[in-house]
Amino acid sequence: MLLTVQNIHKTYQTADGPFAVLRGVDLTLDAGETLALTGESGSGKSTLLHLIGGLDTPDQGHIHLGELDITTLDDNGRAALRRGTVGVVFQQFNLIPSLRVSDNIAFQARLADRYDPLWDATLAERMGLTPHLNKYPEQLSGGQQQRVAIARTLAPKPRLVLADEPTGNLDEATAAAVLDLMLELVSETGAGLLIVTHSTELAGRMSRRLHLRAGQVA
């Protein structure tokens, strides 16, 4: 099993007092499997994704990536995990404005010491980015920027890819094309894919679907 999430709890302090975002969530994901995480706004989807990606820590429970319990890692350990083992695609593209497209794609892989120019070239070609490699992010459309963000995430060949509404800012046709490429490339690398989405169409493309309601699996 690639990913095992066990009894995850997370509570945040608000002006109205403590708010339990996650209340005992369990899930599993195998290598090569795709999973859609659905639910209403505030159900805890993005919080769970951030915990799995090591962007935050749970109050209770364990998250295993293979044999590694990532809930035991410190900040440096979680950052190292995100550099190469776990790739995260955000709804906001988070590209580096001062870097050209080619360097944005290579950025994560270089940090992880996994830079492979041939793989980067393959990603750029498959994402339709080869003509744009010398451009800066501001010179690209939203769809092109999202393809750069996905290519950057896949460049280190992570074992697990997490995507938070990866097509939420795109028109329908571009969203479908980006998703097709993402599924194809994830399948080729053997990674697991977990997507947070409100889209029933996107969720229907995944191997499985898990629905959250009020911080629990419905």
Domain with residue 111: its CATH number is 3.40.50.300
Q: Which residue has the higher pLDDT, 173 or 80?
A: 80
Does residue 129 belong to any structural domain of this protein? yes
Residue 83: predicted pLDDT: 86
Higher-confidence position of 72 and 180: 72
**The model's pTM:** 0.92
Segment 90-119 mean pLDDT: 94
Give the count of alpha carbons within 13 A of 68, CB side only: 15
Question: Which pLDDT belongs to residue 139?
Answer: 97
Supply the range of the domain harboring residue 84.
32-56+74-217
Residue-wise pLDDT tens digits, 129-172: 999 999 999 999 988 998 999 999 999 999 999 999 888 777 78
Say whether pLDDT at 32 is over 80: yes
**pLDDT class for 52, splitting at 50, 70, 90?**
very high
Residue 78's pLDDT band (cuts 50, 70, 90)? very high
- Domain contains 10: no
Among candidate residues 134, 208, 148, the one with its CA nearest the CA of residue 182 = 148
Q: Is residue 24 part of a domain?
A: no
Tell me if 102 is assigned to some domain.
Answer: yes
Residue 64 inside a domain? The answer is no
Please report, rounded to a whole number, the percentage of residues in the chain having pLDDT higher than 70: 100
Query: Does residue 169 fall inside a structural domain?
Result: yes
The set of residues, in sequence order, having a beta carbon less than 8 Å from that of 206 and lying 6+ positions away, is 34, 35, 36, 193, 195
User: Beta partners for 171?
Assistant: none
Position 9 in a domain: no
Going by their DSSP bridges, the two strands 34-39 and 192-196 should be labelled as parallel
Q: What is the CA angle 125-130-133, rounded to 5?
A: 135
188 — pLDDT class (breaks 50, 70, 90): confident
The pLDDT tens digits for 89-104 are 987 889 999 999 999 9
Long-range contacts of 90-94 (CB under 8 A, 24+ apart): 90/149, 90/164, 91/164, 91/165, 91/166, 91/168, 91/169, 92/169, 93/137, 93/142, 93/145, 93/146, 93/148, 93/149, 94/149
Q: How many domains does the chain have?
A: 1
- The pLDDT, as a whole number, for residue 213 is 95
167, part of any domain: yes
pLDDT of residue 201: 86
214: left (phi over 0), alpha (psi -120 to 50) or beta: left
